[in-house]
Amino acid sequence: MLTGKQKRHLRALGHKLKPLIQIGKKEIEPALITELNTSLDHHELIKVKLLESSTLDKHEASVALAEACQADVAQVLGKTFLLYRAAKTPVIVLPKAA
């Protein structure tokens, strides 16, 4: 679980990111989860965008994907959200928990 300070740090890093994963009509499928896991392994912090054609709620989608990938939701803003999962050798250094 991320602290508020850690989420704030990740939001600052995620501001400049472009969405790597886009969710449309097909909703959440095993192929999407596989792609998300691969992206998280490589980048640690990724931005996911819900397209207009998606019928999913942004909060439900972010929680479902985070649980499926053992990741944390750093931010939900509009139709996009940030997911974070530390790599085996982390590149992103998070502020220490209090």
Dihedral angle, C-alpha 37, 40, 46, 48, nearest 10 °: 0
> Is 80:48 a contact under the CB 8 Å cutoff?
yes
Can you tell me the distance from the alpha carbon of 94 to that of 88, in angstroms, rounded to the nearest whole number?
14
Number of domains in the chain: 1
By percentage, how much of the chain surpasses pLDDT 90? 78
User: How does pLDDT run across 63-80, given as a tens digit for each residue?
Assistant: 999 999 999 999 999 999
* Domain assignment present for 48: yes
CATH number at residue 34: 3.30.110.60
* Domain assignment present for 91: no
The separation between CA 70 and the C-alpha centre of its own chain, rounded to angstroms, equals: 10
Can you tell me the distance from the alpha carbon of 23 to that of 26, in angstroms, rounded to the nearest whole number?
7
User: How does pLDDT run across 44-65, given as a tens digit for each residue?
Assistant: 999 999 999 888 899 999 999 9
Domain that holds residue 77: 4-84
* Domain assignment present for 74: yes
* Domain assignment present for 35: yes
* Residue 8 pLDDT > 80: yes
